[in-house]
Structure 1
Amino acid sequence: MEVAVKKQPEQDPKGWRRKSPMPSLPEVHGSMNVPKKAGFFRKLLAFVGPGYLVAVGYMDPGNWATDLAGGSQFGYTLLSVILISNLMAILLQALAGRLGIATGRDLAQACRDHYSKPVSFALWILCELAIAACDLAEVIGAAIALKLLFGLPLIYGVILTSLDVILVLMLQKRGFRYIEAMVISLMALIIFCFVMEMIFSRPEFAAVAQGFIPKTEIVTNPAMLYIALGILGATVMPHNLYLHSSIVQTRKIEPTSEGKREAIKFATIDSTVALMLALFVNAAILILSAAAFHSAGKEVAEIQDAYHLLGPMLGTGAASILFAVALLASGQNSTLTGTLAGQIVMEGFLNIRLAPWLRRLITRLIAIIPAVIVIGIYGESGATDLLILSQVILSLQLSFAVIPLVKFTSDRKKMGEFVSPRWMSILSWVVAIVIACLNIYLLIGTFSGN
């Protein structure tokens, strides 16, 4: 095991308890050139990429079950909830990019440089649990897709998905742009699959448009409210905030106020566009479920059931195949970014560096071992329970990432001239409080059996 303690460079700590750490993801930090004298679109192209790595976390297999349940039970009504949760995500990811570019710290490093050692260590443990839980959902989702497509037993599918560690290492050695290209390609495949699903399912577009308008019945109907809270509470992935604050620093920008301001602008555009594509995918899952199942009076919450019913109900076997292909691409895409998030969190909180292959192997084993044990003992039903448990753990940890992020980006001493505008700061605190309340409600409901 290669462990090296990073030497702290001598810099003015400003509003931080500790001096600035070494660069986040040092092997790729500032590795991608940005043209100095170029037009708007050429510069934007240079910044395109990190937002898409973040966006895949918003369409991972852990979100599919809530979207399927919402569509099959309540038609298009909960589309407004998906829209609201996506707008929250756009705001929080913009803050993460702003933090990374303005301070040169990712969120994990910022927490370490602000909080005491015990608090920072506790935040690290919680974040590692969240990453493992998210990784677990992605591994199981990909394994389910492999079984649906090729009949591969779940336990073998879980083991097979671990090979993405090798893929990430190979791509990162060739340059970070190759990882971005792989993620964007898989995301394009997911979008293509759901465009075709929309064509097959022929949804009522007037009803779809109405679904994006919030309804009072979402609050007054307890069953609808609970699924709505599930969509809202599980949409923002905590590891994405750590990930985004790091990978925006892969661009080699001018270390001036003007250069940082420009980088924040383009990074925000990149993440906003990417998250709007994630909105399409999540909305498409719910629309597909509403068009195929709600109209027929069938309630579907499990991915396997949706796969088996789609072909017969839409009159084409291609619908089921495309659904499973999209699920496989979603699971594999999410695991690629999850391994990077694991590296960022360990290095940022602990200020130590492990060999990349070892860090990613540890991340994989934490997810794979419980999945293999539970599936081996309980079979497919155990895999579904694990998916639910992973979302509960994510909900529990989310506020421990959101609140520090909002706190740091609202602090002028830490951010200087790049502090969040007052309107953004107020809105961010409102979102942070809403997310915390929703997740508390979800946890109480989950543990009380309601």
Structure 2
Amino acid sequence: MAYFPDVDTIPFEGPGTKNRLAFRHYDPSATIEGQSMKDLMRFSVAYWHTFRGTGSDPFGGGTLQRPWDDGSDSVENALKRVDVAFEFMQKLGAPYYCFHDRDVSPEGASLAESHKNFDVIAKRLKEQQDATGIKLLWGTANLFSHPRYMHGAATSCNADVFAYSAAEVKKAIEITHELGGENYVFWGGREGYMNLFNTNMKRELDHLARFMHMAVDHAKSIGFTGQFLFEPKPKEPTKHQYDFDAAACLNFLRANDLMDHVKLNIETNHATLAGHTMMHELEYARIQNALGSIDANTGDLLLGWDTDQFPTDIYLTTQCMLVILEQGGLAPGGINFDAKVRRESFEPIDLFHAHIGGMDAFARGAKIAAAIRADGALTDIVKNRYRSYDDGIGAKIEAGTVSFADLEKYMLEKGEADANESGRQEMIENLINDYL
């Protein structure tokens, strides 16, 4: 049966179309810097928000109308949900999807029953992938919702919870591998602390590192060659989370000999909560060869929580695409819409409007970023700004061939530093606006 009978496959109709169920900028076959938009963007639908979201918030219950969902946590309902998801993604034209284990499969009365449920659902997911050509961008495990994870999972003070977490992640990696997933994500929803008086921080961080190494070892043992990803997230829900931002995550990976195995999955709303811009987090990861994938959303700057709204800000998507194009793309990662419709947007059709807007916003950002790059508008400005390091004393500094004593001698002979030049920040901001 059709779950979205009033929606056909979403077409590309160009900027002039009046059809709200059509793409204005996302043309899968159009090329940007030698890659098709489809291959460059690698758009993915987040199973948890799109097919499990209810519209609830801390002040009220669910509002979303999902006529196919009976509200139960049964395997039968989960199987139906898979069919709904693939009809939606096929009509949208999204080539990928992502999930947590508990998004797609209900938790059983025991670990064994949970594993059995997951196997049943994975079989249906595989059938739908084969039928539609839609692929799994990444899988992960939900190690934060169940009460057993109240103290964390890999960083829990309870060794049995650590063991349970390991069993859950082991199964999630195996299912991700079985479904051809191209990445696997670690997101430590509760890996942090509320009170340092009762916390052994070193021990918890050591346990988290041990956990990740176990995951890497298991992946090797079963032949899973997908990319492991670590997702920064500050403040919510714990007072301090160990994966606070890109810098904290990379420091952890480097300190624990994990840089060869794990890259970062960066999210816009998380960057904002950490006090950074998304462009900052992306660039910080990119320059260390650690940018693996992104969760595309945005927050509300007037609210202090993770609102996970769909990205529609062209300035934001242009900034993202400037970094992504500089890297040459995200593969095997992609752009995953970790975003949810507002509780007031409660009809099923709103799922299409939301994703169309997000895909168009990134496509438009990509076109703008490519034009900026083609003109060398920023490249020339940056190159000129740092030209004092291209030769002379600057080149020697970068080459590591001078000491403090050498630099002191140089300045004593010269007497004073060359005059600074304007950073032209306002001019550059105006320049970017010209492209928008």
Q: TM bucket by the smaller chain?
A: under 0.3
TM (norm. structure 1) is 0.24
The structure with the greater share of residues assigned to helix is: 1
Q: Whose relative contact order is higher, 1 or 2, with alpha carbons under 8 Å and at least 6 apart? A: 1
TM-score (norm 2): 0.25
Higher strand share: 2
Specify the structure having the higher radius of gyration (Cα).
2
